[in-house]
Amino acid sequence: MGARMVFLYGPPAVGKLTVAQLVADRLGFRVLHNHLTIDAVAPVLDFGTDAFWDVVGRLRGDLVATAAGEGVDLVYTYVYAPGDEVVIDPLVEPYERAGGVTFVQLVAPREELLRRVGSESRRAHGKITDAAALEDILDRYDVFQPIPGRETLELDAAVLSAAEAADRIVGAIS
């Protein structure tokens, strides 16, 4: 089998990076979490502008396509909201050709996300840590929807530990 991708998505503070790192450790995959590209572009371009998202999108696309071409197994983290299919489809296409993509959605109740958002690990990765900022995102975007047309393994991060979630993902792709 060629290169494989786990496309791990869910709302902010659900534990995507923690689970991604555990999956990567168990399977020898590499992790590309959404903040790596954001953090590379943010010091140069104003966050959220069209130019910012254009460069982030090109960087992600080039990086993913090259990784797939090099046979790199990858866990990719993403905050999905309806309408993002136009971004996701080109990202996963190189891996669909190379070996396969497993879509995994982490979910948790809003109250759990608000409890987690201030964690020290989020601060260390430059993620939002303010409950009011998270509330704004949750109010503006429907980040709890599955990606339409994609078979998705849904895991409740409020019920499962990160290790249990990683075990289920590994079991689903092994």
Q: Does residue 172 surpass a pLDDT of 70?
A: yes
For domain 4-173, the CATH architecture is 3-Layer(aba) Sandwich (3.40)
Q: Are strands 74-78 and 4-9 parallel, antiparallel or unpaired?
A: parallel
Domain ranges of the chain: 4-173
**pLDDT tens-digit profile of 46-93?**
988 999 999 999 999 999 999 999 999 999 999 999 999 999 999 999
Reported as type and span, the H/E element at residue 4 is strand 4-9
pLDDT-derived band at 18, boundaries 50, 70, 90:
very high
Nearest to 145 by CA among 86, 117, 105, 88: 105
pLDDT at position 117 is 85
